[in-house]
Amino acid sequence: MSDLDNKPKDGAQESKGFDLGSALGMGGPEVPETIDKPENFKGTVARLLKYLRPQLVPLVTMIIIAAIGTWFAIWVPDILKKVTNALTDSLQYFIDIRLPAQSNGEGNGVLYTYIAPILWTCAALYVLNSLFQLTSGMIAATMSQKVVRRMRSDVKDKLDKVSLSYFDSTPTGDTLSRVTNDIEMVSITLQESINQIITGGMTVIGVFIMMMRIDWMLSIIALVSLPLLFFASRIIVKKAHIEFARQQKRIGELNGHIEEMYAGHNIVKLYNHEDESLEDFEKINAELKKATRKSQFYAGIVLPTIKFINNLCYVGICVGGGFRAGQGVITIGDIQALLQYTRQFAQPIENISNIANTIQTAMAAAERVFQIFDLEEMTPETLKPRSVADIQGQVDMEHLAFSYSKTKPLITDLSLHVNAGESIAIVGPTGAGKTTLVNLLMRFYELDKGRILIDGVDMKEYTRDDLRSLYGMVLQDTWLFNGTVADNIAYGNPSATREEIIVAAEKAYAHSFIETMENGYDTVLKEDASNISQGQKQLLTIARAILKNPKIIILDEATSSVDTRTEKYVQSAMLAMMEGKTSFVIAHRLSTIKSAALILVMNHGDVVELGNHETLMEKQGFYYELYNSQFAGVTDENRDDDTAGFRQT
CATH ID of 38-373, from 3.40.50.720, 2.120.10.30, 3.30.2320.50, 1.20.1560.10: 1.20.1560.10
* Dist. CA 201–CA 74, nearest whole Å: 12
In eight-state DSSP terms, residue 215 is -
pLDDT given for residue 574 in this prediction: 76
Q: Are 427 and 611 in contact (CB under 8 A)?
A: no
Residue type, 526: K
Which CA distances in Å does 574 have to 494, 515, 627?
Answer: 21, 21, 24
Q: Are 541 and 492 in contact (CB under 8 A)?
A: no
Q: Which whole number is the average pLDDT over 111-127? A: 87
Task: List the one residue out of 337, 255, 369 whose CA is nearest residue 20.
Answer: 255
Q: Are 590 and 554 in contact (CB under 8 A)?
A: no
pLDDT given for residue 208 in this prediction: 84
In eight-state DSSP terms, residue 182 is I
Give the number of C-alpha atoms closer than 13 A to the C-alpha of residue 218, restricted to the C-beta side.
29
pLDDT given for residue 522 in this prediction: 92
140 has a pLDDT exceeding 80: yes
Sort 636 into a burial class: Cβ within 10 Å, 0-12 / 13-18 / 19+: exposed
How remote is the C-alpha of 420 from its chain's centroid?
42
CB contact set of 272 (below 8 Å; sequence gap of 6+): none
Q: Are 586 and 626 in contact (CB under 8 A)?
A: no
Task: Work out the end-to-end distance of the chain between its first and last CA atoms, rounded to an integer number of angstroms.
Answer: 47
* Dist. CA 264–CA 173, nearest whole Å: 14
Question: pLDDT tens-digit profile of 435-490?
Answer: 888 888 888 888 889 999 999 999 999 888 888 888 888 877 778 888 899 999 99
Nearest 5°: CA angle at 31, between 26 and 36? 155
How remote is the C-alpha of 418 from its chain's centroid?
41
Q: Are 324 and 215 in contact (CB under 8 A)?
A: yes
598 has a pLDDT exceeding 90: no
32 bridge partner residues? 17
pLDDT given for residue 9 in this prediction: 40
Q: Are 164 and 376 in contact (CB under 8 A)?
A: no
* Dist. CA 484–CA 481, nearest whole Å: 9
Give the number of C-alpha atoms closer than 13 A to the C-alpha of residue 477, restricted to the C-beta side.
2
Task: Kindly report which listed range (274-288, 530-544, 566-580) carries the lowest average pLDDT score.
Answer: 566-580
For strands 552-556 and 471-474, give the pairing.
parallel
pLDDT given for residue 36 in this prediction: 37
564 has a pLDDT exceeding 50: yes
Determine what percent of the chain is predicted with pLDDT higher than 70. Answer: 85
Q: Which CATH code is given to the segment(s) 386-470+595-649? A: 3.40.50.300
pLDDT given for residue 490 in this prediction: 92
pLDDT band at residue 356 under the 50/70/90 scheme: low
CB contact set of 179 (below 8 Å; sequence gap of 6+): 152, 155, 156, 159
Cβ atoms within 10 Å of 566's Cβ, excluding its own: 19
Q: Where in the chain is the domain with CATH 1.20.1560.10?
A: 38-373
Q: Are 110 and 90 in contact (CB under 8 A)?
A: yes
* Dist. CA 428–CA 196, nearest whole Å: 64
Q: Are 373 and 154 in contact (CB under 8 A)?
A: yes
Which CA distances in Å does 106 have to 89, 95, 110, 390, 432?
Answer: 16, 9, 12, 107, 108
Name the average pLDDT for the chain. 78
Residue type, 631: F
Task: Kindly report which listed range (109-123, 278-292, 586-600) carries the lowest average pLDDT score.
Answer: 586-600
The DSSP H or E segment spanning 50 is helix 41-52
The DSSP H or E segment spanning 368 is helix 356-373
Q: Where in the chain is the domain with CATH 3.40.50.300?
A: 386-470+595-649
